[in-house]
Amino acid sequence: MTRGAQLVRGSRVEYNFIQQAGVVGDAVGTIFLPALDEDLASPLEGPSSSRLAYDPIRRNPDLQLDSDGSVQIGERVSSVQSGRDVSSFRQLRFETDELAFGVEGWTAETVRITNDPFSPPEVELRADSLILRNLSPTQDELLLKRPRLVFDQGLSLPLLRSRILLSRGTINPEDLNPVPIPLGIDGRDRGGLFLGQKIPIVTSERVRFSVTPQFFITRAFSGDTSSPIDLRNFGTTASLSAALSPSTTLLGDADITSFNFDEITDNIRGDFRINQQLGNHRLSLQYTYRDRLFNGSLGFQDVRSSLGAILISPSIALGDTGINLTYQASAQVINATTDRADLLAAQNSNTDRISLGRYQGSLALGRSFTLWQGDTKPLTQEEGLRFTPEPIFPFLSLFTGLRATSTYYSS
């Protein structure tokens, strides 16, 4: 049975045309998440687009297949500059004793799910029962009973989460973390080991805002504070991503490493950026508070505040020479600590911080030379797709470039 891009096979099927719902016994098939909403809403319509779906019944080790995407599960330090981190999660393969479906979603009993197109899968999600239902045109909800991750048909790790949100082809990697409350280590600001839990506040299509309350375990029990419930043992981070218009985005991060309000100005870090597309250029307006930067001779240093703008060009090909041109221009006002007494005296400052300006322009030329290239291995389970969801194209290239930079300082 196919419903748009969704494929299900089984031993029997019962379907109610009035209720647009049915049951499939011994079901095996694929779920293509980007088309799920459209396919569930119109069960009698044909496929909306032509595509190849992997057939889990007619398995063939020499099967040639087209990849509909991959899954990447991991963790990284959030960065305003790189934007929101999401992982591709578009097509799932499943097996279940009984699958019930309707216009509101799918339910299954004794289910096994994987994104691995080959059998046996290297990793799969197993659950006693599952409910997949649509929440909005861009989001689905996955409810699981006793979920667990099974590696190579042996090692089983409990997934201590019963609810996972799927946002039309993306999934939050934290939803697949078997640890319910993530742990981290930060010896510089948080005193060592700490734990925190991300709480989504706004999860609309255009705006995403979340906070992560944290408890600093090492600091709380090291004797550095008066008691484990001292306000200095608690902190939080906040993350904001908003699409203000089709060409304008707002990104922001804030970090509070102590709720001791007597020292709050020294325990807050913030980074806010507005990106605006201007034709094929990008204009970024950014403000940072207590940004930590690495200085080659001084190590890590805190810059009290910085306000500036940068205009970045696209990569421009110069004819058929193979040379690419890029350029950028920026202006910035920086407030930071100085050891120059003459600068402090000139500004009549009562602190050791001063504000200075910097204006910069940069132009770069670059070209790559292909020294050698090979061929991809056949798209089979034992060769080209053994260790990667997409075949690797081997090559060796030489990159060379020239950059010129001009800088003007207000002092």
CA-to-CA distance for 236 and 1, rounded, in angstroms?
Answer: 49
Average pLDDT, the chain: 80
- Do 391 and 377 contact (CB within 8 A), yes or no? yes
Backbone angles phi, psi at 246, to 5 degrees: -60, -20
**How much is the pLDDT for 82?**
31
**How much is the pLDDT for 269?**
94
239-282 pLDDT, tens digit each: 999 999 999 999 999 999 999 888 888 899 999 999 999 999 99
H or E segment at 132?
strand 123-136
CA-to-CA distance for 57 and 148, rounded, in angstroms?
Answer: 24
373-411 pLDDT, tens digit each: 998 888 787 888 777 777 888 999 999 999 999 999 998
225, 228, 232, 235: CA torsion to nearest 10: 150
| pLDDT range class, residue 48, cuts 50, 70, 90 | very low
Helix ranges restricted to H, 61-144: none
Q: How large is the average pLDDT for residues 345-358?
A: 81
CA-to-CA distance for 28 and 114, rounded, in angstroms?
Answer: 12
Tell me: pLDDT of 306 over 50. yes
Q: How many CA atoms lie less than 13 Å away from 98 in the CB half-sphere?
A: 7
- Do 272 and 286 contact (CB within 8 A), yes or no? yes
Tell me: pLDDT of 90 over 90. no
Tell me: pLDDT of 44 over 60. no
